[in-house]
Amino acid sequence: MKTLLIVTAVLETATGLGLVLAPALTVLMLFGAPLDAPAGLMIGRVAGAALLSLGLACWLVQHDEQSRVAQGLITAMLLYNTAAVLAFVYAGIGLGLSGSGLWPAVLLHTVLAVWCTVCLWSARTPMHA
């Protein structure tokens, strides 16, 4: 679980910084479409701040991987990664968007979702009758 938390901290922090500092470029790489409206740029920056928060939370909890907080964070990450996969697949197939980073992002979030599931499954406690 610790490795998952570290990897997620690094990936989400990097993506968050990209969205905060250069939302138009980050969105262009991901979806192959410009993000040029002021409201879209602000939403990109807010999303970046959210990813920075997720990265920080993962980094801070990495040393306490057996806690309920860590398990809650991994559960939240499972939801986030699953939602990201669904949104990105819809963007690619349903909306026809196709930036160079779209399908690698689908693959990455799929792997992270599976990894979260494995960590949660292995950390569960046996049920007592």
91-128 pLDDT, tens digit each? 999 999 999 999 999 999 999 999 999 999 988 755 44
pLDDT band at 67 (very low <50, low <70, confident <90, very high): confident
pTM equals 0.88
**Predicted local distance difference test score (pLDDT) of residue 125:** 58
**Predicted local distance difference test score (pLDDT) of residue 124:** 76
**Predicted local distance difference test score (pLDDT) of residue 9:** 97
Q: How far is it, in rounded angstroms, from Cα 63 to Cα 82?
A: 25
**Predicted local distance difference test score (pLDDT) of residue 126:** 55
Task: Classify residue 42 as exposed, middle or buried by CB count within 10 Å of its CB (0-12, 13-18, 19+).
Answer: exposed
